Amino acid sequence: MSPRFEPITGRYLDLTLLDRPHRLYIEEAGQGIPLLCLHTAGSDGRQYRGLLNDKRIIDNYRVIVFDMPWHGKSSPPEGYQNEEYKLTSHGYIQMILEIADALELDRPVVMGCSIGGRIVLYLAHQHAKRFRAIIGLESAAHVAPYYDVEWLHRPDVHGGEVSAGVVSGLIAPTAPDNHRWETLWHYLQSGPGIFKGDLHFYKVDGDIRGKIDEIDGRASNLYLLTGEYDYSCTSEGTLDIARRTGAQATIMKGLGHFPMSEDPPKFISYLLPVLEKIRGAA
Amino acid sequence: MIERIPDMVNSDAHLIRRGRFLSTTFLVEIGDRGYLIKIIEGRVVSITPGPFVTPNYSFALRAPRDEWEMFWKKVPEPGHNDIFALFKRGKLKIEGDLHPFMANLLYIKDVLAAPRKEAA
């Protein structure tokens, strides 16, 4: 294989987030409508590598992916050694709005997966006007705990290995091996307790069941895409949100909980029509 | 299918390497039939079918027969592709000392799914 640079640019942004100085890692590619992408719990922006490299997308969209603080190449804030990381709905919403402002994004499209698929429901509920369209991947209003998350962060179990072990079955069995293991690698690399801290939002703090009926899926241009193999955010859960909000939902065949990372070409075949629709409405 | 696990695991050098720190015996129940799976340093050294008088094991995984059959299909249907999918649906029960299970989760998932390699 001859060497080639991908069209992605990665940079560090120093900014104040939630009243604290942060050093944030951001990747982007393309030009046009800003498309701000949110990764899953315990992972990082590399999940969107397929989108950032797809000419059909980056010809018309400026794809922007940040690693949340504590994730990927973004640092935890100063003093992290004296606190327990716990993501909350309030902190997560503020983070997204403040990053969009710092980048001076003009009514971006926001797309998030899993915890990102949950927080975009909050954005559709509270901040719809700030976004041109909202795309939820693997969106569920709530997921009850089905295993003890204490296993994810203790010194006698490798945190990365157990996190990858927990999520491995959420990948569709038909996903190509290279993308399956790349997706797992991001979990294998995650910082200690970070997946667990994100799940605080996913399973405890971020229960939006009581507000679903207040979301106007049509006015907020809400699109929901869920993989059929996702047993965490189920197809039924997504279709229920669509029914109650008027959002447009698609159940994706042969995909699981990490569609953009576990099988990028298959996912992009589902995403392109949505992006075309959003572009047509602009 | 479960009888195929030792051959499928022991012929996979990479899987053995990933499980090299695990030596334990665990119980798998397929409906009312129990099997003790003994692992030493990542190799499956025996599978002993019940009935047992005083079975000694670290942890147990119990699911109805039809659930295991769906789980062992070459390409399982949604909801049947992973032991966590089974227990989220309330079809699989896990109990006992979960430390060896969680500390070796990727390995144990692959041991349990090994019969898929030969499934029709």
Give the tens place of pLDDT for each residue, A199-245. Answer: 999 999 999 999 999 999 999 999 999 999 999 999 999 999 999 99
Interface residue A173 vs chain B (CB under 8 A): yes
> Closest to A174 (Cβ–Cβ): which among B75, B85, B105?
B75
The CATH code that applies to domain B2-64+93-113 is 3.30.1050.10
Residue B112 has pLDDT above 90, yes or no: yes
Interface residue A205 vs chain B (CB under 8 A): no
**Coil/strand/helix, residue A14:** strand
Q: How far is A243 from chain B (nearest CA, A)?
A: 22
**B29-35 mean pLDDT:** 97
pLDDT of residue B79: 97
DSSP letters for chain A:
------S-EEEEEEEEETTEEEEEEEEEE--SEEEEEE--TT--GGGGHHHHT-HHHHTTEEEEEEPPTTSTTSPPPTTGGGS-----HHHHHHHHHHHHHHTT-SS-EEEEETHHHHHHHHHHHH-GGG-SEEEEES--S-----S-GGGGSBTTB-HHHHHHHHHGGGS-TTS-HHHHHHHHHHHHTPPTTHHHHHHIIIIII---GGGGGG--TTTTTEEEEEETT-SSS-HHHHHHHHHHH--EEEEETT--S-HHHHSHHHHHHHHHHHHHHHHHH-
Report the side by side order of strands in the sheet with A133-137: A9-17, A20-29, A61-66, A33-38, A109-113, A133-137, A222-227, A248-252
Of B106, B14, B99, nearest to A165 by C-alpha is B106
pLDDT of residue A281: 85
Task: Decide: A252 and A268 in contact? Cβ < 8 Å.
Answer: no
pLDDT of residue A40: 98
Q: What is the CATH number of the domain that holds A221?
A: 3.40.50.1820
Residues of chain A with pLDDT under 50: none
Going from N- to C-terminal start, the domains of chain B cover 2-64+93-113
ipTM over 0.90: yes
Q: Which residues pair with A223 in a beta bridge?
A: A135, A248
Alpha-carbon distance of A194 to A80, in angstroms, equals 12
Of A117, A101, A253, A113, nearest to A173 by C-alpha is A253
Q: Which residues pair with A229 in a beta bridge?
A: none
pLDDT of residue A282: 62
Residue with tokens 């399956």: A180
Tokens of A65: 């992916």
pLDDT of residue A93: 98
Confidence class for position B119, pLDDT limits 50, 70, 90? confident
**Coil/strand/helix, residue B88:** helix
> Closest to A165 (Cβ–Cβ): which among B79, B88, B109?
B109
B47-90 per-position pLDDT tens digit: 999 999 999 999 999 999 999 999 999 999 999 999 999 999 99
> Closest to A231 (Cβ–Cβ): which among B85, B98, B102?
B85
Tokens of A154: 């203790």
C-alpha B10: how far from chain center:
14
pLDDT of residue A1: 87
Alpha-carbon distance of A230 to A63, in angstroms, equals 25
Q: Do A151 and B102 touch (CB under 8 A)?
A: yes
A3 part of a folded domain? no
Q: Do A172 and B81 touch (CB under 8 A)?
A: yes
Neighbours of A83 (CB within 10 A): 10
Q: Which chain A residues touch B79 with a CB distance below 8 Å?
A: 231
Task: Work out how many domains chain A is built from and give that number.
Answer: 1
Q: How far is B53 from chain A (nearest CA, A)?
A: 30
Range of the domain at A190: 9-281
Report the side by side order of strands in the sheet with B43-49: B43-49, B33-40, B24-30, B59-63, B93-96
Task: Decide: A226 and A249 in contact? Cβ < 8 Å.
Answer: yes
Neighbours of A101 (CB within 10 A): 11
Q: Scanning every residue of chain B, which has its alpha carbon at the shortest distance from the alpha carbon of A234? A: B79
Interface residue B89 vs chain A (CB under 8 A): yes
Residue B1 has pLDDT above 90, yes or no: no
Alpha-carbon distance of A183 to A192, in angstroms, equals 18
